[in-house]
Structure 1
Amino acid sequence: MQALVNTLENCGYEVHCVSNKSEAFELSKTFIKSGMSVGLGGSVSVGQIGLLDYLVNKKDIKLQNQYETGITMEENSERRRQGLVSDIFVTGTNALTLDGKLVNADGSGNRVAAFCYGPRRVLVIVGKNKIVKDVEAGFKRVMEVAAVKNIDRMNSKAIEMGKEPRHNLDNIANKFSWVKADEKNRIILILVDEELGY
């Protein structure tokens, strides 16, 4: 693990290693300061550590929460846009390669865009199951693991709500990126020694 941390730091990431979800949650909170604007990328990992609920209930920040129940599609899109100029963007990743590349697919594109440019900082929660050898393995993981599980999750949720399931690879995984850190320490990685997300 130390070799990976050294590589990631040499790539320009700010890297933190924690043992479990609870430690990841406590550390994540230290990056969220009063008065900040906070953007969100789709992430099961962020929810699993408790950070999404924390952000939703934190009253002294401006959360661009596109997942809020009852908002219009226009408001949803505007919150995604505003998240791209936030002080910090909170998300997970589909894969992290041993040489320091973040590999992701997206439906709307706001998450892959945030990795590339926009938010002042990006906080990424990375379970140990996301670490892969290289970009090829990363995209393989995207298509064979992350996308499939997300499609199942979102279609199941639609059925529960009495809606027609409409999610597939064409609208869940149609925008792709792999990025390395650009500006030093702009992207913060919290590596969690547990499996998280898809």
Structure 2
Amino acid sequence: MIEVMQNLKNNGFEVVLVEDKNEALEYAKKFIKADISIGLGGSTTVAEIGLLDYLTSLKNIILFNQYEKNISGAENLKRRRDGLLSDLYITGTNAITKNGEIVNVDGSGNRVAAQIFGPKKVLIFVSTDKIVNNLEEAMDRINKICIPKNIQRCNETALKYGKEPKFNERNIAKKFSIIKGDDEGRIIIVLIKQRLGF
């Protein structure tokens, strides 16, 4: 773990190691200030640590929440676009290599785009079980775990809201990214020593 964290730091990322989802949530709260604008990327981990519920409960921030119920498709798209220019972007990741690379797959691309450029700060929450040896293992993890589970999750959500479950690999896994480094201090990776997300 020490080697991974050092490699991430060498690549320009800030890294924090926390014990569990409760500690992760408390750490996130340090970045939430009045009048800050916050964008969101798809992340089961962010929901599981309670951060999504916490953000939606606040009245003194500008939250571009594309997950709000009953918003139109046009409003959903607008909020995802607005999130790309937010003060703070909060998301997860699919894999981190031991060399300190962040690897992701995305459907629409807003999550990978925001990690690469746009928001002033990016908070990435990731459980330590997503650390893999190399890029080959990262892609293997994405193909065997992340894509199938995301298809299932999206189709279940569609059914829940009375929509057609039309998600498949073609519309879930369209955009891939490998981030080998970033400007120092922009991306903060919160490693969680608890199995979360997928």
In 2, the alpha carbon distance for the partners of 1:31 and 1:47 equals 17
SS in 2 for 1:104: strand
The unaligned stretches of length 5 or more in structure 2 are none
Instruction: Give the number of equivalent residue pairs.
Output: 198
Encode CA deviations 1:115-134: one digit per residue, 9 max, x unaligned: 11000011000101211111
Encode CA deviations 1:38-88: one digit per residue, 9 max, x unaligned: 000000000000000011111111000011111111111111111000001
Conserved? CA contact 1:41–1:91, under 8 Å: yes
The unaligned stretches of length 5 or more in structure 1 are none
Conserved? CA contact 2:8–2:99, under 8 Å: yes
Conserved? CA contact 1:8–1:99, under 8 Å: yes
Conserved? CA contact 1:181–1:187, under 8 Å: no
In 1, the alpha carbon distance for the partners of 2:42 and 2:161 equals 19
Amino acid at match of 2:80: R
Conserved? CA contact 1:17–1:190, under 8 Å: yes
Q: How does 1:1-198 map to 2 (within 5 A)?
A: 1-198=1-198
In 2, the alpha carbon distance for the partners of 1:172 and 1:6 equals 32
SS in 1 for 2:183: coil
SS in 2 for 1:90: strand
Percent identity (aligned): 50
CA RMSD of aligned residues (A): 1.0
Which region of structure 1 is more displaced relative to structure 2, 158-167 or 117-126? Answer: 158-167
Which region of structure 1 is more displaced relative to structure 2, 15-24 or 151-160? Answer: 151-160
SS in 2 for 1:74: helix
